[in-house]
Structure 1
């Protein structure tokens, strides 16, 4: 009862939740005699339940049924609260991923929620049992003290002491302490044994080069016709409003934190419900607010790879991959598919390991193999490299590139790293505060960003307010200079910009768009120098600069000792005009 009620309350979003919670916990707060009195009113001869049972010549009061009911009511809050706490500790991403893999709610409960909450539930069971074992007041009120019929151990101790039979009282006291302590010790021993067993590494025949680049196993899927998303989603003061289409070429969702990138993926996967709009995948309507369609996650055929990979910690690598396989396969087919997946991701021999026995890169590959094993029509990748170090990130990015090249479905790749997005995705959707800032090919967005904010998100560091002075001349207000431009003038020019690596140092001071400059300060990376420059005259302080230039250290060696002023050239073809 406590487990079922806790699981129900975990997902309950209706009214009166606080009141319901108070009723469930009340027996833990009220004196047991008060609980017994209320039970007596309920089950007594004149009580509502008592009257219902009267025609059947059946009674609860002063029977062993009453003792059992009193014990259940008094111990129920402990079981309920402990189970609820155990369920609340489960990572919600595990349940979300389970649904995207096609699992029903009953499957998720039995295979994910219950096993992961089991240690807490066992602890709650012991506490509830100990509380029931020691219950006195409610039992005495409802069931009485009939030796051999309703007498419990606590009442036997009480009446033995009253009668002066101390030896009998000692006997029952030792018995109840032995039972309670034995239960607690056995549960703790079992949990400790299981933990030690899980943390013992297993020897395998796996190769040492587990992080080397490899070709993922391509899984067959239906021919795709693309993903259409046109939704609005309001969360408090935040409004997500996007409309885009994606085909079999990976689409990168690029933007800062809080731009709405991950929220889009959750809406597509069915984890979040849009306020209005529609989502269509390969002609199948996943969501349509006007038609009242909202398919559950398990029916959407979506592969979802979240940031922490959400591998089921109580299942082995092989069992994790098998979780995503289509239902109804024979054991032999499941075994073959698992071996194919392990071979493809260079994890052969590691099928019996648990997620905590794998490195971050190995976990990421298992999660991707599990997602692809479900044969999804769309693959959603939510910053899959964010938890990896630089070297491993590069290797797995190469693997991901090969995988996406062979995967025929729709792919959405969320990142805030512009270089990742550029390398992996031919097309980009740049988001800003929940809305589309620029949507197109990566070349268009990086070469001709629509706004200053898009340029900043894509890595541009040099901006100036701008105004048109003639058809091919723009005044850069903040740089205090006139610039020749080639790019067509936008209707409402706001800013002009140039990327730091596109500035050119020159000796030809007469060339167009060439200006004297002075070095303000530098910032060093392993391979490059970032040089902060002040145009026209020397700087007054370290923050007084106009432009940042990035130069390789080989080039820096040739210019760093030259006398000032230096001359910097801003190529007209490199200048970006933005609204």
Structure 2
């Protein structure tokens, strides 16, 4: 006896599932993208509402759908006037499956979006990408595996939907009877053979879906392993000379005067940048990086004004705020923010989409050659070294010919040797750049080598600013002296117009300039202490060695003045001397004579 089976439940199920998956894909993607940007208390409520069908019993969801689309509902009556009926029709099966499967697609996609480094999206905006381009070229490709997983799970959930479909679409053979409903009907009628057949089909589909997810996960592991295979490290190769080009006329200046309330303080900064690099020097958390982000447009000040080349980028009084994509301000992030799914050449050309292909390729290769990374064009960021990534990030910004270039600690992740070489290459690259350059660092020596003018930040305030030589020679405050590398700082009080008392050093010092009434501290740089053979003199004292610390090319000596130290006493001063000076000193009996030059005393305010 041959078992006769009506194939309509299979056809209806597949048609319903495919239609519901397509609808869920676009609806879930749109909802996830919108919710990605939502913050605050509203987010939790909206997210809970969108996820509700996942936790409610399907029959309850179906009941609500019936209230919405039933013939007695407002929507149902309105549709009947145009000849459409939703309840107990095939479209009802699609709606029910879509509503039930939607939360899986939405939650999985939102989770995938949130795993993408937001700095990559900010980098894309600073390169001129519109929000649609950022979504299409960065967010979606990087979140792709999660989006695919959400789509597969939504397909599986739509295929197995029963309760909501039964409530809204009913059990009409040949019209709304899906495989799960056919199983229910067959068991209810005692036709177990037919029920077994539909169950086997659903199990086969489910196993295929599980297998598809596992294959996708395995492919991601293989892809990660392949892309993380390190390539040849060319960071030690001889860098090619910068291509000669005519130096452009000055493009103008950057004027910034903004405020922004942060968690621990209010950032208030005013700076001007034209020809040459302006350095922002300060400890971590002082507001340096936030300043760059506000200039680039990826963060918004609470008040103030930003003007570049006479063009107002932000003005709180008029409400003007040009998006990052329209500012033409290049920002090199601290972690470089290279797009991991694009090759080196594709990264460099990311901001050049508006140019014809031939010109775009010419610009890409020009920057690759200038930065010495042409051989890396077809590699991915995970296949190159830190120094090479840094050069790619700089080349990517320079390719778009920005009006201002912002560098956020670009050498922080490099070893000292490679840092100096890369710094030289960057300086050569910027030789013909006529725009403003703002350089953020917490390294005093790096700021001094690279920048012509400095601003010292501390807790969101500019505590010192000016030409670097003046700032290093005469810092006005204790914080500025510390940030510019002064290691010997002690409280002091004014005794006369040219004399101060330093109790912590157990000495009295003469000064070359008049002591200000606001004096609270005195400072002296450790490398400027000088040792005398013998004899007295102004600000010359006997000193004894407490301890030493050795570096490759110098010795650090910890000293006490005027009296031989006893165990447990702390040193007064730190002196950094060359190894040959140390060899001479160590052969001489103590006490030694040390001089604090009057002209090099730093008279500081607290």
* TM superposition score normalised by structure 2: 0.91
Q: How far apart in 1 are the matches of 2:449 and 2:194?
A: 80
Q: Deviations over 1:532-558 (max 9, x none)?
A: 111111223455111001112222122
- 2:455 counterpart (429, 443, 446): 429
Report what 1:135 is aligned to.
161
* Equivalences for residues 332-351 of structure 1 within 5 A: 332-351=358-377
Report what 2:420 is aligned to.
394
SS of residue in 2 equivalent to 1:16: helix
User: Would you say the 8 A contact 1:218–1:403 is kept in 2?
Assistant: no
1:316 aligns with 2:356: no
Q: Deviations over 1:393-448 (max 9, x none)?
A: 22211112222333211000101010110110011000011011101011111110
Report what 2:9 is aligned to.
none
Q: How far apart in 2 are the matches of 1:209 and 1:424?
A: 21
Q: Deviations over 1:27-85 (max 9, x none)?
A: 01111110011111111111121121121232111111111101110111111111111
SS of residue in 1 equivalent to 2:486: coil
SS of residue in 2 equivalent to 1:411: strand
Report what 1:538 is aligned to.
564
The Cα of 1:246 is off from its aligned counterpart by 1.1
Q: How far apart in 2 are the matches of 1:221 and 1:32?
A: 68
Q: How far apart in 1 are the matches of 2:543 and 2:525?
A: 17
Report what 1:150 is aligned to.
176
1:525 aligns with 2:551: yes
- 2:480 counterpart (451, 454, 461): 454
Report what 1:549 is aligned to.
575
Q: Against the structure 1 CA distance between its residues 566 and 257, is the aligned structure 2 distance closer, same or farther, given a 3 Å change threshold?
A: same
Unmatched 5+ residue regions in structure 2?
1-26
* Equivalences for residues 146-185 of structure 1 within 5 A: 146-185=172-211
User: Would you say the 8 A contact 1:307–1:382 is kept in 2?
Assistant: yes
SS of residue in 2 equivalent to 1:516: strand
Q: How far apart in 1 are the matches of 2:242 and 2:124?
A: 22
Report what 2:15 is aligned to.
none
Q: How far apart in 2 are the matches of 1:13 and 1:209?
A: 42
- 1:11 counterpart (20, 37, 41): 37
SS of residue in 2 equivalent to 1:245: strand
Q: How far apart in 1 are the matches of 2:105 and 2:335?
A: 31
* Equivalences for residues 343-422 of structure 1 within 5 A: 343-422=369-448
* Equivalences for residues 210-249 of structure 1 within 5 A: 211-216=237-242, 223-249=250-276
Report what 2:20 is aligned to.
none
1:112 aligns with 2:134: no
Q: Which of 89-98 and 486-495 deviates more?
A: 486-495
Q: How far apart in 2 are the matches of 1:71 and 1:109?
A: 27
Q: Against the structure 1 CA distance between its residues 352 and 314, is the aligned structure 2 distance closer, same or farther, given a 3 Å change threshold?
A: same
1:472 aligns with 2:498: yes
- 1:102 counterpart (112, 128, 131): 128
Report what 1:569 is aligned to.
595
The Cα of 1:498 is off from its aligned counterpart by 0.5
Q: How far apart in 1 are the matches of 2:213 and 2:570?
A: 67
In the alignment of these two chains, the number of paired residues is: 578
* Equivalences for residues 50-129 of structure 1 within 5 A: 50-129=76-155
- The two structures, once aligned, show a CA RMSD in angstroms of 2.2
- 2:534 counterpart (508, 530, 539): 508
The Cα of 1:180 is off from its aligned counterpart by 2.7
* TM superposition score normalised by structure 1: 0.95
- 1:299 counterpart (303, 313, 326): 326
Q: How far apart in 1 are the matches of 2:285 and 2:383?
A: 33
Q: Against the structure 1 CA distance between its residues 192 and 88, is the aligned structure 2 distance closer, same or farther, given a 3 Å change threshold?
A: same
Q: Deviations over 1:271-303 (max 9, x none)?
A: 111111101111000111111111110111100
The Cα of 1:91 is off from its aligned counterpart by 0.7
Q: How far apart in 1 are the matches of 2:218 and 2:558?
A: 59
SS of residue in 1 equivalent to 2:34: helix
User: Would you say the 8 A contact 2:251–2:435 is kept in 1?
Assistant: yes
Q: Against the structure 1 CA distance between its residues 3 and 189, is the aligned structure 2 distance closer, same or farther, given a 3 Å change threshold?
A: same
Q: How far apart in 2 are the matches of 1:466 and 1:79?
A: 67
Q: How far apart in 2 are the matches of 1:447 and 1:57?
A: 86
Report what 1:284 is aligned to.
311
Q: How far apart in 2 are the matches of 1:398 and 1:542?
A: 46
Q: Against the structure 1 CA distance between its residues 185 and 69, is the aligned structure 2 distance closer, same or farther, given a 3 Å change threshold?
A: same
Q: Against the structure 1 CA distance between its residues 134 and 222, is the aligned structure 2 distance closer, same or farther, given a 3 Å change threshold?
A: farther
Q: How far apart in 2 are the matches of 1:484 and 1:476?
A: 11
Q: Deviations over 1:91-124 (max 9, x none)?
A: 1111111111111001101111111111001111
Report what 2:63 is aligned to.
37
SS of residue in 1 equivalent to 2:375: coil
The Cα of 1:389 is off from its aligned counterpart by 2.1
Q: Against the structure 1 CA distance between its residues 17 and 192, is the aligned structure 2 distance closer, same or farther, given a 3 Å change threshold?
A: same
Q: Which of 399-408 and 352-361 deviates more?
A: 399-408
SS of residue in 2 equivalent to 1:312: coil
1:253 aligns with 2:280: yes
Q: How far apart in 2 are the matches of 1:205 and 1:453?
A: 44
Q: Which of 224-233 and 463-472 deviates more?
A: 463-472
Q: How far apart in 2 are the matches of 1:407 and 1:514?
A: 49
Q: Which of 534-543 and 392-401 deviates more?
A: 534-543
Q: How far apart in 2 are the matches of 1:543 and 1:260?
A: 38
The Cα of 1:501 is off from its aligned counterpart by 0.7
User: Would you say the 8 A contact 1:211–1:392 is kept in 2?
Assistant: no
User: Would you say the 8 A contact 1:206–1:349 is kept in 2?
Assistant: no
Q: Which of 217-226 and 299-308 deviates more?
A: 217-226
Report what 1:2 is aligned to.
28
User: Would you say the 8 A contact 2:522–2:602 is kept in 1?
Assistant: yes
Q: How far apart in 2 are the matches of 1:528 and 1:312?
A: 42
User: Would you say the 8 A contact 1:250–1:404 is kept in 2?
Assistant: no
User: Would you say the 8 A contact 1:253–1:430 is kept in 2?
Assistant: yes
Q: Against the structure 1 CA distance between its residues 302 and 211, is the aligned structure 2 distance closer, same or farther, given a 3 Å change threshold?
A: farther
The Cα of 1:16 is off from its aligned counterpart by 2.7
Q: Deviations over 1:467-492 (max 9, x none)?
A: 23233222223212121221343341
The Cα of 1:169 is off from its aligned counterpart by 2.2
